[in-house]
Amino acid sequence: MSEVNETLIPQLGIVTDIRTDTPDVKTFRVNALDGGKVFEHIPGQCAFLSMPGVGEALFSITSSPTNKEFMEFSIKRCGCVTDWLHSMEVGQMITIRGPYGNGFPVDTDFRHKDLLFIAGGIGLAPLRSVINYVRGNRDKYGKVDIVYGSRSKDDLVDYDEIINEWVNEKDFNVHLTIDREQEGWDGHVGFVPNYVKELGFDTDKTCIICGPPIMIKFTLAGLIELGFKKDQVYTTMELRMKCGVGKCGRCNIGDKYVCKDGPVFRCDQLDEMPSEY
């Protein structure tokens, strides 16, 4: 019996590095107990992290599958589990189970396309996995544009990686914006949806959006104004799930289970779903 693999029984991981990204976002590096990765994944997939006695929560895997050494999770502090994660120290064991979800169609629909990534705040976390996957397989994708905005400069997640690595990547265009003027910031100021419209992209790109629901809504409207079709736009849904395997019933929206059929959806698919997300 016990040899049957059971997805509800988690594996153990060890936190080997903790990086503070913003005042309320930390990035955690997780390794298997014997080093290496706990499991492989596809960009856009998620995993449950938990501390027994505190609780279990689902996070998107921020690191790219091309990273063969470890997994990373960028986590915003917003509840009891994340509070605990934010207070822990390197060397702490945690339980981890996954990977869950469909992930982005990086090896099918995205192949050889020009990609436009649009992210707001912590919404960069799931996209970072894709972006770094694209960087790792640069020849398989076309041009890459990244629009990333946040409340302030301090709230930009992975800022160092963006300005030190992404901007230098071939055919990568990074457009950063913050909501309000700030000392020491000479980049663009304004909300992401408006910035996207201002930038005015070619409509042959495949778009990947992630951020707060309100940002997604307005950005999508902006993209459609620019001439994009909904089937060109992908997004990943807010993560309200419990079991991860499409059984517990919480994330059931219409005939879809977000944890299994999602979290990545194409926007034309969302139109077919009840508006409960």
Q: Which residues in this chain contact another protein in the complex, by CB under 8 A?
A: 1-2, 4-12, 51-53, 55-57, 78-82, 84, 87-89, 91-95, 238-243, 245-255, 272, 274, 276-277
**169 within 8 A of 135, measured Cβ to Cβ:** yes
CB closer to another protein out of 137 and 252: 252
CA distances from 171 to 76, 119, 136, 142, 216 (A): 30, 19, 14, 8, 25
Closest separation in Å from C-beta 255 to another protein: 4
Give the number of other Cβ atoms within 10 Å of residue 254's Cβ: 14
Closest separation in Å from C-beta 179 to another protein: 21
Closest separation in Å from C-beta 111 to another protein: 26
CB closer to another protein out of 75 and 178: 75
Closest separation in Å from C-beta 247 to another protein: 6
CB closer to another protein out of 200 and 249: 249
CA distances from 74 to 47, 78, 124, 182, 226 (A): 12, 13, 9, 24, 31
Query: By C-alpha distance, which of 235, 230, 272 is closest to 253?
Result: 272
Closest separation in Å from C-beta 46 to another protein: 11
Closest separation in Å from C-beta 106 to another protein: 22
Closest separation in Å from C-beta 174 to another protein: 27
CB closer to another protein out of 91 and 184: 91
Name the pairing type of β-strands 256-257 and 188-189. Answer: unpaired
